[in-house]
Amino acid sequence: MGRYARELVRALVRLETPPALRLFDVGPGPRTLPAAALGLPEAGDVRRLRLPLPRRLLAAAPWLFDAPRLLGGCDLFHRVFCDHPPVRGVPQVLALAGVPRPRSAAGELLRARTAGRHAIGDVVVTSRHARDLLREDFDLASDRVHQVRVGCDHWNRERVARPPAPGPPVLLALGATDGRRRHAALVSAFGRLRARGIEARLEFCGRRGNAAGEVAAAISGSPWREEIVWDQAPREAEMPERMARTAVLVHLSDDEHTPVTPLEAFAAGAAVVASALPAFGEALGDEATLVPAGTDPDGLADALAAALEDARDPGGRGRRRALAGEFTWDACARETQSVWRRVLARER
């Protein structure tokens, strides 16, 4: 959601008719996001307020930290956190990257915040599947759940055109080593791929998660461990070039509701092996290799081999980039602004 908020602001201030923006930062830490990262030096009517307090304090005293009042008034509040900051007296739109399970704590919070006094009236998501889940599982009216495109062109701003790096093609897995991403199974599949004589290099890029021990054991026990790299402290500044030299992004997940990560790979022309999730199928179509949940290492190795073939096809690379070109932050900003206009027209 941090990237989403940053890139949405960057795109909004560049529209022909940008909205008057009031940005509300909350948290006791140092401000790590400079104005330039948000495109603010060239912006028009934009003000940024920082409240250097723990977020839990806002919920404890909602009458004191009412965001519209602190901002000097606003017509609509677009939020990226369900539970804070406190907002009263204006329509609220919540952006969600994922839909919580109905009976989970997050699901109960979402249900409470979209009902009753000072409720969040509208929700924005980036896939049809997420939209349908919110309507079915949380009884949200059809006209209160809005689907917009997610952007994937952020790394293209910083990518430098270079010839392909020498060496075997890179298989890249992004994200923390959580059990839901099946990184240990990917290590096994990579071993089977190499045992077939197919040249490749496997890179993990993400902090240690709840399956870090299992993944470390799988890597140390692999006969191909010298060809596996795990960057546990990736730097954002390195991501454009990292993705540019990737042949295949491997993105396995039990449950996601936005296609942003595989689309980031498409924007670089990389092939994709991803879980057969509805949100991925909607956006990626036939251009990605989608694997069902529970696919064994041999089946996953087959998918990796097919994707490596796709990665060598210049026509496929062009099709992937063209598809990613439909998912821009400019499009997200325009569609979001359209949602705001509909919400405000309904509230009048």
- Residue 52 and residue 28 in contact, taking contact as beta carbons nearer than 8 Å: yes
Alpha-carbon span 108 to 117, nearest angstrom: 16
Low-confidence ranges of the chain (pLDDT < 70): 31-33, 41-43, 159-165
* Same domain for 305 and 161: yes
Statement to judge: residues 335 and 190 lie in one domain: no
Tokens of 105: 């704590």
Task: Identify whether residues 110 and 163 lie together within a single domain.
Answer: no
Q: Within this chain, do residues 36 and 60 fall inside the same structural domain, yes or no?
A: yes
Residues 340 and 306 occupy one common structural domain: no
Separation in Å, CA 301 to CA 37, 191, 196, 281, 307:
40, 8, 10, 20, 10
Q: Are 161 and 321 in contact (CB under 8 A)?
A: no
Domain interval for residue 338? 2-151+328-347
HSE, side-chain direction, 13 A CA sphere, residue 297: 14
User: Is 78 in contact with 336 (CB distance < 8 Å)?
Assistant: yes
Q: Which residues pair with 26 in a beta bridge?
A: 51
The residues, ordered by sequence, that sit 6+ positions from 313 with a Cβ below 8 Å of its Cβ are none
Residue 89 makes CB contacts below 8 A (sequence gap 6+) with 66, 68
Contact 154, 329 (CB under 8 A): yes
CA angle 127, 253, 241 (to 5 degrees): 85
Handedness of CA 105, 111, 117, 120 (dihedral sign): positive
Give the number of domains in the chain: 2
Count other C-beta atoms under 10 Å from residue 123's C-beta.
Answer: 25
Q: Could you give the angle at which helices 329-347 and 2-12 cross, rounded to 10 degrees?
A: 80
Phi/psi of residue 130, each to 5°? Answer: -60, -40
Question: Do residues 246 and 175 both lie within one domain?
Answer: yes
* DSSP label at residue 18: P
Closest CA to 279 of 146, 133, 102, 167: 133
Same-domain status, 49 and 193: no
Write the CATH number for 293: 3.40.50.2000
First-to-final CA distance of the chain: 30
The residues with which 24 forms a beta bridge, in sequence order, are: 49
pLDDT digit string, tens, across residues 291-323 = 998 899 999 999 999 999 999 999 999 999 999
The residue among 79, 309, 73 whose CA lies nearest residue 196 is: 309
Rounded to two decimals, the pTM is: 0.91
Q: Are residues 75 and 112 in the same domain?
A: yes
From the CB of residue 94, how many other CB atoms can be counted at a distance below 10 Å?
Answer: 19
HSE-up of residue 93 (Cα within 13 Å, Cβ side)? 24
Looking at the fold, whether 134 and 46 belong to one and the same domain comes out as: yes
Closest CA to 186 of 307, 320, 268: 307
How do residues 147-199 score in pLDDT, each as one tens digit? 999 999 999 887 665 556 678 999 999 999 988 899 999 999 999 999 999 99
Same domain, 94 and 142: yes
22, 49 in Cβ contact below 8 A?
yes
Handedness of CA 305, 308, 314, 315 (dihedral sign): positive
Do both 11 and 85 map to the same domain? yes
Question: Are 239 and 343 part of one and the same domain?
Answer: no
Q: What's the DSSP call for residue 24?
A: E
Beta-strand runs (E) in 46-195? 46-51, 77-79, 92-95, 122-125, 145-147, 170-174
